[in-house]
Structure 1
Amino acid sequence: MTSVILMTGSRSWNNVQVSADALSATLIMLGVTEKQAALRHGASRGADTLLARTAEGLGIATQAVPAQWDRHTEQCPPWDRQNATCKLAGHRRNSIMIAAGANICLAFPTHAMSLQPGEDSKDTSRGTWDCATKAKDAGIPTLVVWGDHFFPFGQPGAELLQRAATQRGLQLGPSLSAPILGIWLPF
């Protein structure tokens, strides 16, 4: 049976090494090999394409679920239907990826969940946080990759990270964070 790693991330995410380390650590947490895993992503520039290339390089199958930016649905508000590009397409795609199920969700934001005073909302990780929140609410263990650490987002993510840390003899940090390298390096 294939373990699905759902990932969501910012279009400005560009850290190749942390991406590879996070995927390797996730395989350890799930107790599967590269051939037993699949990475589901939204096919956007940035984190999605970088993680897909990284996964393929590690021998992990990938499943792209691109947003249909040129398609409106009956759920689209009237103000959006007049636009050529559907502003809700990314949120619909996130819901489709969540509904398909996953064993874990990894989020790679480049901005905090809430805006700082004066911060431009255009350059934030709104879609990343939308998908991570939907995954958490669906009961999918969700971990946020911030710097070189995993941070749990919701109880199932905290439980998964705690099990992994216990198996590796690690103590979680004050915010229940764990260093990514500590999860998968053999020493």
Structure 2
Amino acid sequence: MNTPPYRVLVTGSRTWDDVTAIGAALEQAVIDAGERPVLVVHGACPSGADWHADHYARWMRGKGCAVDVEQHPANWRPGGIFDRSAGFRRNAEMVEAGADVCLAFIKNGSRGASHTAKLAQEAGIPVRRWTA
């Protein structure tokens, strides 16, 4: 029987640069998961919290931890037209997919990360917040 992964939804500012906070949060998630594998879910931003969480999770996997990554990039230009709401829709989809915990790394009141944390909380997902 396959054990479902412990889903860790990471949301954060594009300018988040505190790798230590992200690493400590992901390491705690691995502890919290117990025997379950960990799946780090994020929005695939090429900078900030998503980028750091992705790289830290992959580093952990390289060290033998049962950690994998699931990316959810926003479709910013469907049909070649810029869509300002794409990130918010993507965030809602990640929350709807479910998670065991949401790690929110919010810098300067990031609207996207704050929105995702709020949606997660409303969905009954425990939210752990870091702010800068």
Identify the TM-score tier after normalising by the shorter chain: 0.7 to 0.9
Question: Which gives a bigger RCO, structure 1 or 2 (Cα 8 Å, sep 6+)?
Answer: 2
Per-residue deviation, residues 28-72 of structure 1 (Å, max 9, x unmatched):
233346xx0010000012110111000110112000000000128
Alignment-mate amino acid for residue 118 of structure 2 = T
Counterpart of 2:7 in structure 1 is 4
Q: In the alignment, which of 90, 108, 111 is matched to residue 126 of structure 1?
A: 111
Query: Secondary structure at the residue paired with 1:67?
Result: coil
Per-residue deviation, residues 67-115 of structure 1 (Å, max 9, x unmatched):
000128xxxxxxxxxx931000000000110111111000001124xxx
TM superposition score normalised by structure 1: 0.62
| Structure 1 residues 30 and 146: CA distance shift in structure 2, 3 A | farther
Counterpart of 2:92 in structure 1 is 95
Cα offset for 1:16? Answer: 1.5
Partners of 2:92 and 2:78 lie apart in 1 by 15
Aligned residues: 123
Counterpart of 1:49 in structure 2 is 51
Larger proportion of strand: 2
Identity percentage of aligned residues: 35
Alignment-mate amino acid for residue 42 of structure 1 = G
Alignment-mate amino acid for residue 39 of structure 1 = V
Alignment-mate amino acid for residue 7 of structure 2 = V
Alignment-mate amino acid for residue 57 of structure 1 = W
Alignment-mate amino acid for residue 122 of structure 2 = D
| Structure 1 residues 30 and 144: CA distance shift in structure 2, 3 A | same
Counterpart of 1:31 in structure 2 is 34
Query: Secondary structure at the residue paired with 1:12?
Result: coil
Unaligned runs of 5+ in 2: 62-66
Per-residue deviation, residues 133-183 of structure 1 (Å, max 9, x unmatched):
000011111110236xxxxxxxxxxxxxxxxxxxxxxxxxxxxxxxxxxxx
Unaligned runs of 5+ in 1: 73-82, 113-124, 148-187
Does residue 111 (structure 1) correspond to residue 118 (structure 2)? The answer is no
Rg larger in structure: 1
Give the RMSD, CA atoms, in angstroms.
1.7
